[in-house]
Amino acid sequence: MPDALFADPRLARLYDAFDGPRDDLDLYLAIVAELGARSVLDVGCGTGVFGALLADRGITVVGVDPALASLELARAKSSEVTWLHGDATTLPPLQVDLATMTANVAQVFLGEDWEATLGGVREALRPGGHLVFESRRVEARAWEGWAETTSRVVDGVHERREMLGVDLPFVSFRHTYRFADGTEVASDSTLRFRSRAEIEASLVACGFEVADVRDAPDRPGREDVFVAVKVS
């Protein structure tokens, strides 16, 4: 089940405003150009910001997400993208050059669904196709920066974030949104923090070769960006 932040229509409509400028996507756009990819599968496409950017550059894009509310917003952003309701295990036959999982997508898979997702992505890639995603470094202990309850207001909606617990490799937190009419809606989230060695081992086990591991320019020293190749 996707988090309410993405699945509840009231919250999904707020997501882009609270998320702010997506400077993190510049890295992915550069990798698409570097690899010469002409077709991209965006797993966990959310509200479709990245897919729409790619489509504007003439790239053939398939975006898939289990949160229908977010997907409806994505469809409004671009009619050039094929938007699919589902996940990497429910895809139709594809042969794309590149698959991506931007932002925290790779960390929302908490158990065997991670290997299942990698398997689905592999099936969707052409021989020699690439998978690119990021994951926060465990040693950077990002959750320590989330420990203090924070709040902000955007477009008249008050957001409060609080930690629910740290039980590594799992970190849980809650966002609560209060609307002008006094209504409150909460969204609980859990991320899994995998080590670089664990991620690399899972990629190899699922039929990939790790081609490169890079730093994330928008979060230097805090994230790894994995570039993997489908092994024939």
Mean pLDDT for the chain overall: 96
Q: Are 154 and 129 in a shared domain?
A: no
Which band of pLDDT confidence, cut at 50, 70 and 90, is reported for residue 131? very high
Total domains present in the chain = 2
- Rounded distance, CA 193 to CA 215, Å? 16
Report the pLDDT averaged over residues 182-200.
97
Q: Are 71 and 50 in a shared domain?
A: yes
Which band of pLDDT confidence, cut at 50, 70 and 90, is reported for residue 40? very high
**Cα-based distances in Å from 32 to 49, 123, 227:** 15, 19, 11
Report the pLDDT averaged over residues 204-218.
96
Assigned token pair, 26:
């510049």
Q: Are 97 and 211 in a shared domain?
A: yes
Backbone Cα Rg of the chain: 17
Predicted local confidence at residue 194, as pLDDT: 98
CATH number, position 217: 3.40.50.150
- Rounded distance, CA 113 to CA 202, Å? 12
Q: Are 62 and 101 in a shared domain?
A: yes
24 contacts 104 by C-beta, under 8 angstroms:
no
Task: Look up tokens 């550069």; give the residue.
Answer: 30
Q: State what percent of residues in the chain have pLDDT above 70.
A: 100
Check residue 221 and report its DSSP letter. T
Report the pLDDT averaged over residues 156-185.
96
For the chain, the straight-line distance linking the first and the last C-alpha, in angstroms and rounded, comes to 32
Q: CB 103: neighbour CB atoms within 10 A?
A: 18
Which band of pLDDT confidence, cut at 50, 70 and 90, is reported for residue 213? very high
Q: Are 170 and 73 in a shared domain?
A: no
What 3-state DSSP class applies to 163? Answer: strand
Q: Residue 217: is the preceding peptide bond cis (ω within 30°)?
A: no
Does the model's pTM come out above 0.85? yes
Q: Are 176 and 111 in a shared domain?
A: no
pLDDT at 214 exceeding the cut of 90: yes
Predicted local confidence at residue 113, as pLDDT: 98
What are all long-range contacts of 183-186, with beta carbons under 8 Å and residues at least 24 apart? 185/4, 185/8, 185/10, 185/11, 186/4
How far from chain centre, in Å, is Cα 141?
19
Predicted local confidence at residue 232, as pLDDT: 80
pLDDT at 149 exceeding the cut of 90: no
Pairing of strands 157-167, 150-154: antiparallel
Report the pLDDT averaged over residues 86-108.
98
Predicted local confidence at residue 20, as pLDDT: 84
Q: Which residues contact 101 (CB under 8 A, 6 or more apart)?
A: 42, 43, 44, 131, 132, 133, 134
How far from chain centre, in Å, is Cα 176?
21
Predicted local confidence at residue 103, as pLDDT: 95
Q: Are 151 and 222 in a shared domain?
A: no
Q: Are 13 and 122 in a shared domain?
A: yes
Which domain covers residue 145, as residue numbers? Answer: 140-191
Q: Are 69 and 109 in a shared domain?
A: yes
